[in-house]
Structure 1
Amino acid sequence: MNLQPSTKTLALPRELPQRQRLADELHARPFETVASPGRVLSVATLRTSAAQDAQCMSHLAELDPAAAAAGGATHLRLQWGGLRIKWERHTEFFSLSLFSEVDKDGQVEAGGAFDTRWLDVLPEGWLARLPGEMVSATLVALLPCPGEPPHVREVAPLFGIEPVVANRIAEGAATVVTDLRTVDGVTRFLVFDHALNRRRAGRTAQRLVEIDTYRMMALLSLPLAARRMGELGAEEAELASLMERFRGAAEGDEALLAELVALAARVEHALADHGARFSATQAYGGIVDRRMTELRETVVPGLQPLSEFLDRRFRPALESCAATAARQAELSKRIARAAQLLQTRSEVERERQNQSLLASLDRRQGMQLRLQEMVEGLSVIAMTYYGVGLAGYALKPLAKAVGANEAWLLGAAVPCVALMVMVNLRRLRTHLASAQ
């Protein structure tokens, strides 16, 4: 069987410009391998502006000058003093992970699992100068343990007097012990390796790191949710007061609408400011859930699962943030409905005023029509008078010629002239009406 790769190049259509980058996205952040005994320290700092990207490159260049030319890289790998260093840029934070597999003496005892002297090879103060504010620091210590792990009571002193949680993970191939508290700013996980290979151990350590990091990123909106809950209560009370005034008074809609618009502006401003933060919390919470599923916990009698410990406070915090976001969105919809009701009543009131105005105009038009008819009647009399006067100049000589009475002849001309005037006025009115 020939297993050598073919060297023949396949002729394919022209590539989409972004195709290679999209295809490589699945391999953009591969897991690091790690063996036990070993340690992993991961530090996450908030990324508040794009200018910090260059600061990170400059900081990493202190260990490897090639990092200065990385530009817009999203992840880098470095070597320094026996440490493997992985830097990643995420949307809202940077993460720096340091891997060390063997102590100077070649072994790590459980009592020194969380000793940080292995980081002394870094330049003095290098970690403290990482750009951004630290949101999480996670230390994972892996110890080989072919048999059963020590009892929780034996391991608990490493974490202090606080209760710890411990459970089998990776389908029983390892046991993790933690208290999920920060000591000197670091959250610590102790992993007893029963049957993990290097790749599986690296994935397990990375999942524990991501659970802690994304847990803290998700909780960033918890103080905001607590503050917004109080503000939402005041805003809902203000809306209720406005609607009570709307229900009890038929006047002053303009003032009510102005107050309602001001309230809507405040709520929409809060939605614009905090909506992305609450959405990010839901996304980070989903990542924590997926990482917990990937750990593949095995329930051990007498041990509290890590997922159960997280759910005790982490899940209610996420639900509180989600409830705040939903309450905020619902208040916005209620304000929109109230504004629509107020606008509807204003439109009805305007319609009523318009109808009253139209009725008044109709009455005035009727009066003008009656006055016009009266004026037309007077006009017929006046025009008849002047028409008979003009006709008299022609009728008087005619009466003398035929020997008729002038007065009777002029009297007979009056109805004829009046009839002609009325007929002409009616024709003029009909012509004007048809022109309109």
Structure 2
Amino acid sequence: MNEVPITSRANDTDSFPESRPVLAGWRLHPMRERLYSELHNRPFHLLENPAQLSHLAIQHGGKLQEREQALLTDLCDRFGVVAPADSMPCFHQDFGLFSLRWERHMEFSTYTFIRQAARREAPFQKNAIDAVPRDWLVSLPGELVAAVHVEVEGASAGNSSESLAPVFDNMLPVGSAASAGRAQIWTSFKLHGDGFGRFLVCDDELTPAQRGRLVQRVLELETYRLMATLGLPLAQEVNEVLTQLDQQLKQLTTRIAQVNLSVSDRQLLAEVSSMAARVEDLRTQSNYRFAATRAYYDVIRQRMEELREQEVSGHLTVGAFLRRRISPAVKTCRAVENRLESISRRVARASELLRTRVELVVQEQNQTLMKTMNRRVRVQLRLQQTVEGLSVAAISYYAIQLIDLILGAGQASGLGYDRELMLGAAVPVVISTVFFATRLIHKRLFKGV
């Protein structure tokens, strides 16, 4: 078989058109580049062992973006590093003494300070946030929700409740073997004397990327579990109000069902409208918070699965602890939300029932009014018929007078006839003519009415 020379294959490319961008001339979607970059906005941090991290989650409610950007720019100017662009949702920079990872979310922002160096003190005695200017920290806008220190160190086979007690101020720790048993996570899920929570991550087998992902999941668990439980106090407050509204609605429904002449329908309708307004106000206040609770809880469950925990003998795992404590709070929010929707539907039905009754009363009043109007129309018709009879007599009288004048004028001109006889004969003819002419006009006017 003859082989094709390599030169001839190369020459074949000359037949193709000159290379140029394939997208040239196409109309690109304005969000195309943003959608591509969204997948890479929040990359995991490469974390060496040992390391210390301090993590803050500050709620801003979707506001204060300009103040955040100004503070980040100020911090970068102090240390002589490049500041982030205004549109960046995530920013990571090395400031020498520490590294900062900043992320802006829908209703909160996170600030993670990282120091990768061996410590000489006991765990959590000196933390990454200690290297950050104090005056800059107190200027952070918003309300602090989560604050946690993380210590990353080598694995220790001797970790037990006794050895970990000093680390967590003698609080009972919760721990598990994460990443399929290659790392351990320990925490108390409580605030310590400095107002921060604490996590201890121990491993010797993870790569920097795996370690960074593990620590990131731990920080997200702490942040999202607090954000998820923000709905619980609101649910408890709303539930108390709903208990009062439920009782009022029962009494109101009973009063609507009874025929009580002492209470007007207008008064009942005003009470129902006031109750409906209160229910809608509660829905406006709580809908976003309850929806956010559901969304955060979904993220928590996903992050717990990604930890791939294994039980450490004698200790409750992090995932089991969170499911046991957060699930009731989330279910409470869902129950209150469902109860709020149920009361809203019941108020709507009561309002509809009352409006129906009011409409029936109005229809009865309209029927009574129509009957009264019908009687008045009949009376007016009788009066009109009476007037028509009188008008026939009046018209006939004046017509006969005209005929009398005409007959008198003819008799004066020398015509020989009996004036009285002709006038008498004209009377029934005139009356009949006027009567039938009036009836004809009446029929034409009221035809189709």
TM range (shorter): 0.7 to 0.9
Q: Which amino acid aligns with 1:159?
A: F
SS in 2 for 1:336: helix
Kept in 1, the 8 Å contact 2:224–2:300? The answer is yes
In 1, Cα distance between the equivalents of 2:217 and 2:247? 45
Counterpart check, 1:45 vs 2:54:
no
How much identity, in percent, do the aligned residues show? Answer: 35
Aligned partner of 2:173 in structure 1 is: 164
Residue 58 of structure 1: how far off its partner (Å): 4.2
- Deviation string 1:40-76 (CA, Å, 9 cap, x unpaired) is 2211122253243234324533544445563332222
- Deviation string 1:153-203 (CA, Å, 9 cap, x unpaired) is 432342233322221211222121221111122221222215211111110
How do 1:320-331 and structure 2 match up within 5 A?
320-331=332-343
Kept in 1, the 8 Å contact 2:52–2:116? The answer is yes
Counterpart check, 1:60 vs 2:75:
yes
Kept in 1, the 8 Å contact 2:99–2:115? The answer is yes
In 2, Cα distance between the equivalents of 1:123 and 1:336? 56
TM-score (norm 1): 0.87
Residue 215 of structure 1: how far off its partner (Å): 1.0
Aligned partner of 2:389 in structure 1 is: 377
Alignment gaps of 5+ in structure 2:
1-18
Aligned partner of 1:130 in structure 2 is: 140
How do 1:64-103 and structure 2 match up within 5 A?
64-66=79-81, 68=83, 70-103=85-118
Aligned partner of 2:149 in structure 1 is: 139
Counterpart check, 1:175 vs 2:176:
no
In 1, Cα distance between the equivalents of 2:102 and 2:190? 24
Alignment gaps of 5+ in structure 1:
1-7
- Deviation string 1:79-100 (CA, Å, 9 cap, x unpaired) is 2234222111222222111222
Residue 206 of structure 1: how far off its partner (Å): 0.4
SS in 2 for 1:310: helix
Kept in 2, the 8 Å contact 1:64–1:78? The answer is no
Residues 69, 82 of structure 1: alpha-carbon distance in 2 compared, 3 angstrom cutoff: closer
Kept in 2, the 8 Å contact 1:149–1:192? The answer is no
How do 1:309-388 and structure 2 match up within 5 A?
309-388=321-400
Residues 435, 390 of structure 1: alpha-carbon distance in 2 compared, 3 angstrom cutoff: farther
SS in 2 for 1:368: helix
How do 1:140-219 and structure 2 match up within 5 A?
140-145=150-155, 148=157, 150-183=159-192, 184-219=194-229
- Deviation string 1:333-368 (CA, Å, 9 cap, x unpaired) is 322222222222222211111111111111111111
In 2, Cα distance between the equivalents of 1:330 and 1:422? 73
Residue 114 of structure 1: how far off its partner (Å): 2.5
Aligned partner of 2:306 in structure 1 is: 294
CA RMSD across the alignment: 2.8
SS in 2 for 1:196: coil
Residues 82, 208 of structure 1: alpha-carbon distance in 2 compared, 3 angstrom cutoff: same
Kept in 2, the 8 Å contact 1:61–1:67? The answer is yes
Residue 408 of structure 1: how far off its partner (Å): 4.8
Q: Which residue of 271, 289, 304 maps to 1:277?
A: 289
Residues 43, 20 of structure 1: alpha-carbon distance in 2 compared, 3 angstrom cutoff: same
**Richer in helix (by share):** 1
In 1, Cα distance between the equivalents of 2:239 and 2:77? 46
Kept in 2, the 8 Å contact 1:139–1:188? The answer is yes
SS in 2 for 1:16: coil
In 2, Cα distance between the equivalents of 1:83 and 1:157? 26
Residue 301 of structure 1: how far off its partner (Å): 5.2
Residues 128, 347 of structure 1: alpha-carbon distance in 2 compared, 3 angstrom cutoff: same
Aligned partner of 1:5 in structure 2 is: none
Kept in 1, the 8 Å contact 2:54–2:128? The answer is no
Aligned partner of 1:11 in structure 2 is: 22
Kept in 2, the 8 Å contact 1:37–1:101? The answer is yes
TM-score (norm 2): 0.85
Residue 407 of structure 1: how far off its partner (Å): 4.9
SS in 1 for 2:379: helix
Kept in 2, the 8 Å contact 1:165–1:304? The answer is yes
User: Number of residues paired by the alignment?
Assistant: 422
Q: Which amino acid aligns with 1:344?
A: T
Residue 205 of structure 1: how far off its partner (Å): 0.4
